A = this chain, B = another copy of it.
Amino acid sequence: MMTLAEAEALDARDPLAALRDRFMRPDGLIYLDGNSLGMLPQASVAASADMMERQWGDRLIRSWNEGWIEAPTRVGAKIAPLIGAAASEVIAADSTSVNLFKLIVAALRRDPARTVVVSEAGNFPTDLHIAAGAVGCVPGAELRVVAREELASALGDDTAVLLLTHAHYKTGARFDMVDWTVRAHAAGALMLWDLSHSAGAVAVDLNGANADLAVGCGYKYLNGGPGAPAYLFVAERWQAALANPLSGWMGHAAPFGFTDDYAPAMGMKRWLTGTPPVLGLGALEAALTLWRDIDMTAVEAKSAALFDIMLVAGEAAGLECVTPRDPAARGSHISFRTPDAYAITQALIARGVVGDFRDPDVLRLGLTPLTLSYAEVWHAGRLLCEVIASGEWRQPEFSVRATVT
C-alpha cells in the first residue's frame, strides 16, 4: 500500500495539480462524486454574475444578438475536441434524455425496414426509458434490451440503431468504441453512444471510431453545474439525412421568419427545439474553458493512478471491486459491491468523504483528475478502511434512507 509521502510526491509532480485551484473546494471535504455533479469552477462564478447582471440585467433582449443565439453552437464547439468530433458536429441543447429521444426517433426513421433499437439491460435507466418512449413514436418499432454478452447476437438486419453507454454508470465498465461501432455497422445499424460518464473522464474519439451519433451530459466531468444543458453529436455524413422529431422554432432554418411551416436548419442547429437555456449554457461554457490546455493523456494517466490507490484500499477493507482493472476498459470511477453499500456510503460522508450509493449494493467513488489530489484519494482510502474496520457504518443512523440520490 502506498504511503502518504508517496502520494504527496505524486502530487508534487502532477501536471494537472494547478487545475485544482481553479475550482471552489469546500474545506475538509474529499469529494468523490464529480462523476455525478462536477465541482464549481471559479470561472463559472464570474461568468454567471456577468450573465445575470450585465448580459441579462443591463443588455436585456440585445444580448440575443450579442452572443446568446450562438451559445448552443459555441458550447458544442468547445465540447467537440473532448469527444473526437468536429466543431460542426456538436451542439448543446436540452437534457441528455430529450436529446436521446431526438436521435433514436431519427435513427428509426432512416430506413423503414429497420425497426429495432438494441440496448443493454442495466444501461442507465433514462436511456432505456427514453428508448421505450421513442419506439412508441415510430410505427412498428421495438426496443430489444439484452444482457451485455448477448448484444452482439441481438444485432441483425432489423436493427436501426445500437444504443450503448460508453462507460457504465454503475460498474464503470467501458465498451471498446471502435469494436462496437464496427459491429453495429456490420449489421447495417447506426451506432449511438451515450458519453455521460466518459466525456472529460477518458479520451473519446467518435470520429476515430466512425461513430454515427452521440449524446452526453454537461454536469458530470464537464463541470457545467446542476442540470446543465446536454449535448448531441451527429456525424457530418448524417446531418442532412436525419431530422429532429422535436421540431421547434430554434431548429428552424429561419427562426425569426415566423412562418407556419417547419423547415429544418442546415447542420447541427436543426437539433435545437425551444429557446436555449442561456443561464445554464453560460455556466457550462465557462467550465469548458478549463480544458483548453489539458492533455487527455495526462487525465487518463492520473485517473488510472488514483484508481490504483483506491483499489488497494478497498481490497484491504475486504470489498469486492466490480470495476475492470484494465484502464482502457473503464471510465474514471471505481465501484465496490457489498450488501452494506448504503450504510458504508453514509458513514464515509460523516467522515467527510462524499461518494455515492447505487441501488442495491454499490459504493461508487468518482475519481476526477481535475479536482482531486493523490493525497486526498489516499486519505479517502484510509478513511474507507477505518470506517469498515471500526464497524462504525453499523450505527443505525447510517441505514436511514434519504429521499433521493
Contact = CB atoms under 8 A, between A and B. Distances in A.
Interface stretch (A4-12, A78-86, A250-258): A250-258
Given A246-B98, A279-B279, A404-B65, A126 B44 contact: no
A405 B68 CA distance: 11
Nearest to A36: B61
Interface string A356-370: 101100000000000
Contact of A279 (B53, B170, B283): B283
Contact of A247 (B129, B255, B279): B129
A298 interface: no
A105 to B, nearest CB: 7
Q: Taking the full assembly, how many copies of this chain does it contain?
A: 2
A128 to B, nearest CB: 5
A154 interface: no
Nearest to A64: B405
A129 B249 contact: yes
Contacts of A123: 260
Interface stretch (A221-229, A289-297, A314-322, A383-391): A221-229
Contact of A98 (B37, B60, B125, B248): B248
Contacts of A1: none
A97 interface: yes
A251 B52 CA distance: 30
A219 interface: yes
A40 interface: yes
Residue of A55, A97, A138, A255 with most chain B CB atoms under a 10 A cut-off: A97
Given A226-B275, A257-B359, 7 more contacts: A26-B59, A33-B60, A39-B60, A56-B225, A64-B405, A98-B98, A256-B359
5 contacts: A56-B225, A98-B98, A98-B248, A101-B248, A125-B255
